[in-house]
Amino acid sequence: MCDICYLKSHLFRLEVCGLKDDNWIQKLKEKRLVYGISQNRLAVTAGIRREYLNRIENHKVQVPEDVKVMLMKTLDKLNPDASLEMLFDYVRIRFPTLDVESVITYVLGLKLEFMVHEDYGFYSYSEHYVYGDIFILVSKDIEKGVLIELKGKGCRQFESFLLAQHRSWFDFFVAVSCFKGVFKRVDLAINDKIGILDIPELTKKCTNEECISVFRTFKSYRSGELVRRDEKQDMGNTLYIGSLKSEVYFCIYEKDYEQYIKNDIPIAEADVKNRFEIRLKNERAFHAVCDLMAHNDAEKTAFDIINRYIRFVDRVDGKRRSEWKMNDRWAWFLGNDRKKLKLTTKPEPYNYEKTLNWLERQVAPTLKIAIKLDQIKGTDIVEDMIKNANVTQKHFKILEQQAVPIEEIVKQTNR
């Protein structure tokens, strides 16, 4: 290729790249403005200087591909519709009745025949019914009555039933009230998906008296492993504000680290970075549910509680604590410069994934060796074990739970 041809080819490539850059910059800027994100916030979150971002948006610098990808990913994380989500993470309700079938049928909206019955219980209850992680405990003492307990997974599984029943959590709470249910505990969880909360920073502020609170105590934990394996060298931070024995306290922790330890999900790939949990018991739980039912506004209920008990500020020497300015990150979390936060549901149908994981980790290696030994020795020990295994009524019930469509399990309720 002659020099002139090479020069023309090179100029053409530059023109094409320039057009691509123009389109990308326009898209970046438009998206940032639609989200209502300032150049400064995007730059700080992305870890670059605002001046550099300004030069990018004004077409004054060429942008490397890795920077383009990083800026777009950062901007997606700052999407005001996706930065925070709120959901129920724990619900415990007691009913002053011994009629467990009515509670299951008319409150939960489920058919009793699909529940697994166990003739033992916990929390001093004598027996219980269970579907996945949805527990209904039964006592012969009317004072204890019937207890519904939904932990994290139980809440997600129950949301699958609510969806099939065309009901919401608010409809469920109305049914609970009709049956004179007593709220023993309700946890509202706020998932921080982009890292608005900085738990080490909040812990430091508690230590430095930059947390103005009705609570008198806080506790901070940093969890990890005694022996570091492979790349697992990060530590998870948890901050409790308020006494764990009181009827209201807050738990703030690094959810991404928890998922890393429990499910081996890389921290960088976790959907949720941090979690802020409002844990309410007895009277506090009752009043929170009353507020939810009165206003149908989960954000109002949650942040009214938070604002009543704590406020993080930045120290200003020479001024009284009451005059210290609210911390910017905390103000953002509370609602400054973001869209309204709605209650989120994440229906997750019950499956036996936990059992399969246990089989894979604990049983499969030994089973594989046993099968190989059968092959070597010409025996049928493993096959005979499976053939002669004692399958109980409980196992058949679990099989039925997995095989029957969810629409057949729910009892259609009147809204």
Measured CA to CA in angstroms, residue 408 lies from 161, 173, 248 at distances of: 10, 23, 39
pLDDT greater at residue 105 or residue 75: 105
| Mean pLDDT of all residues in 93-98 | 97
pLDDT of residue 174: 93
State the average pLDDT for the chain: 86
Measured CA to CA in angstroms, residue 292 lies from 46, 163, 169, 242, 310 at distances of: 37, 19, 10, 23, 21
- Rounded CA-CA distance 188/279 in Å is 7
- Residue 322 is given by DSSP the state G
pLDDT of residue 341: 77
Q: Which of 59, 63, 65, 72 is nearest to 32 (CA)?
A: 72
State how far Cα 246 lies from the chain centre. 23
% of the chain at pLDDT higher than 90: 52
| Mean pLDDT of all residues in 217-243 | 71
Q: The whole model's pTM is what?
A: 0.74
Q: What is 3-77's CATH number, 1.20.120.80, 3.40.50.300, 1.10.260.40, 3.30.70.600? A: 1.10.260.40
Q: Which of 197, 185, 217, 169 is nearest to 276 (CA)?
A: 197
Residue identified by tokens 């809440």 is: 155
pLDDT at 5 over 60: no
Phi, psi of 73 (to 5 degrees): -65, -40
Task: For residue 253, name the pLDDT band (cuts at 50, 70, 90).
Answer: very high
Phi, psi of 189 (to 5 degrees): -110, 135
pLDDT greater at residue 195 or residue 242: 242
Indicate the domain borders of the chain. 3-77, 188-334
Task: For residue 308, name the pLDDT band (cuts at 50, 70, 90).
Answer: very high
Are 162 and 345 a contacting pair, CB within 8 Å? yes
pLDDT at 230 over 60: no
- Rounded CA-CA distance 53/127 in Å is 63
Are 220 and 239 a contacting pair, CB within 8 Å? yes
| Mean pLDDT of all residues in 6-25 | 54
pLDDT at 229 over 70: no
List CB contacts of 210: < 8 A, sequence separation 6 or more.
312, 313, 314, 315, 324, 327
Kind and range of the H or E run holding 57: helix 50-57
Sequence length of the chain is: 415
pLDDT of residue 225: 46
DSSP-based three-state secondary structure for 21? helix
- pLDDT tens column, 371-411: 999 899 999 888 888 888 887 777 777 777 777 888 888 87
Joined together, the tokens standing for residue 34 give 């639609």
Task: For residue 228, name the pLDDT band (cuts at 50, 70, 90).
Answer: very low
